């Protein structure tokens, strides 16, 4: 009579997989789950690599999620984790979540291609779009996917393969738009670097590091669905995404941007 223990083992295995996430176990946020301005963290929560409720992330939890789901190195995660801690207003906080990330002008910024933004001075109304969220000035919701903003970004991805120049153009276009129409637009130097990092992020996760291109269909699927594009043939990168990769690709994007100040 070993059936009950087999059932138990089977259930425990399913439970373990659900708790740790997998490419196959994607489903959208349920009632009460929190999602934020970062499409990739939302995606990892939708797969269960991050806790689906979207709250109270510790460093080991985030290392597991970015490491297992994307093959992102622990030093990148540590750096981003520590920036994100500043979005938790609790004194001496050791956790943050998708519910705290959108606290405006800490990491969430204007000109959203939703980048990680760090402001050196406390501030009021600012936004940086990478390309799929509105500036805070225009709306109470600078956190949720906004198809008008996103359509503007994707218009600059003019080939089947997104190259560095297209990524730079998309980022610059969102910034110019914010400068033109958002009278309270602000972007610190650090925030600008972080927005380049967002571009680097999608190029690295969905791209070919040697060719410096990313498949547009994969990038678009990810932004629209907040889901990893396995059904289009995407696989978790087999080579770790290192801090050097992130810094190099951010620099390529900044160097391809014709306005030096941005
Ligand atoms: C946007 C945080 C990891 C890709 C953002 C934003 C935040 C954020 C706060 C919103 C910025 C804004 O207002 O525009 C984080 C943190 C991470 C992380 C704390 C890790 C602990 C990643 C990774 C990727 C990524 C691994 C890889 C693809 C993006 C992109 C945007 C973004 C593409 C721009 C979205 C848009 O404006 O359309 N992230 N992020 N992030 N993040 Fe992340
Ligand atoms: Mg924003």
Q: Which atom of ligand 1 is nearest to the CA of 96?
A: 19
CA gap 129, 122 in Å, rounded: 19
Q: Which atom of ligand 1 is nearest to the CA of 113?
A: 37
Quote the DSSP letter at residue 226: S
The pLDDT value given to residue 138: 64
Q: What is the pTM of this model?
A: 0.85
The pLDDT value given to residue 27: 96
What tokens does 146 get?
């906004």
Cα(108) to ligand 2 centroid in Å equals 5
The pLDDT value given to residue 139: 61
Give the tens place of pLDDT for each residue, 175-224.
Answer: 777 777 766 666 666 667 777 888 999 999 999 999 999 999 999 999 99
Nearest to 15 by CA among 43, 60, 48, 42: 48
pLDDT tens, per residue, the chain with 262 residues: 344 444 444 443 433 333 489 999 999 999 999 999 899 999 999 999 999 999 999 999 999 999 999 999 999 999 999 989 988 888 899 999 999 987 755 555 555 543 333 332 223 333 444 567 776 656 666 678 888 888 888 999 999 999 999 999 988 887 777 777 766 666 666 667 777 888 999 999 999 999 999 999 999 999 999 999 999 999 999 999 999 999 999 999 989 987 764 4
List of domains in the chain:
29-108 (no CATH), 124-261 (1.10.489.10)
Biggest CA-to-CA distance, the chain: 73
CA distances from 34 to 50, 51, 101, 125, 198 (A): 12, 10, 10, 23, 21
The pLDDT value given to residue 129: 43
Pocket lining: 72 vs ligand 1, CB cutoff 6 Å? yes
Please list, in sequence order, all residues whose beta carbon lies within 8 angstroms of the beta carbon of residue 108, skipping any fewer than 6 positions away.
Answer: 36, 37, 87, 101, 102, 114, 117, 127, 133, 136, 142, 143
Cα(115) to ligand 1 centroid in Å equals 5
The pLDDT value given to residue 20: 86
> Which ligand lies nearest to the CA atom of residue 218 in the structure?
1
Mutate which of 34, 37, 38, 117 for ligand 1 pocket (most atoms within 8 A of beta carbon): 38
The pLDDT value given to residue 191: 65
Cα(4) to ligand 2 centroid in Å equals 51
Mutate which of 115, 145, 199 for ligand 1 pocket (most atoms within 8 A of beta carbon): 115
Pocket lining: 43 vs ligand 1, CB cutoff 6 Å? no
CA distances from 167 to 164, 188, 200, 210, 249 (A): 5, 20, 8, 16, 10
Distance, CA of 252 to chain centre: 19
The pLDDT value given to residue 126: 37
């Amino acid at each position: 009579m070993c059936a009950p223990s087999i059932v138990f083992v089977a259930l425990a295995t399913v439970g373990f997989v659900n708790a740790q996430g997998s490419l196959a176990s994607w489903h959208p946020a349920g009632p009460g789950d929190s999602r934020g301005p970062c499409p990739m963290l939302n995606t990892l929560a939708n797969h269960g690599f991050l806790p689906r409720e979207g709250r109270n992330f510790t460093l080991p939890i985030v290392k597991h999620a970015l490491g297992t789901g994307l093959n992102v190195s622990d030093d990148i995660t540590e750096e981003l984790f520590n920036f994100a801690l500043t979005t938790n207003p609790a004194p001496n906080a050791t956790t943050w979540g998708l519910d705290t990330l959108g606290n405006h002008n800490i990491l969430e910024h204007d000109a959203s291609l939703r980048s990680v933004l760090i402001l050196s001075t406390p501030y009021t109304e600012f936004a940086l779009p990478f390309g799929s969220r509105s500036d805070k000035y225009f709306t109470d919701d600078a956190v949720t996917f906004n198809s008008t903003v996103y359509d503007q970004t994707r218009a600059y991805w003019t080939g089947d393969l997104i190259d560095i120049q297209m990524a730079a153009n998309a980022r610059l276009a969102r910034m110019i738009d914010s400068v033109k129409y958002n009278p309270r637009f602000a972007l610190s130097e650090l925030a600008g670097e972080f927005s380049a990092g967002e571009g680097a992020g999608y190029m690295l996760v969905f791209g070919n590091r040697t060719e410096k291109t990313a498949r547009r269909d994969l990038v678009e699927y990810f932004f629209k669905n907040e889901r990893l594009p396995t059904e289009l043939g995407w696989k978790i990168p087999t080579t770790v995404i290192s801090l050097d990769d992130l810094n190099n690709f951010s620099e390529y994007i900044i160097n391809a941007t014709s306005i030096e100040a941005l």
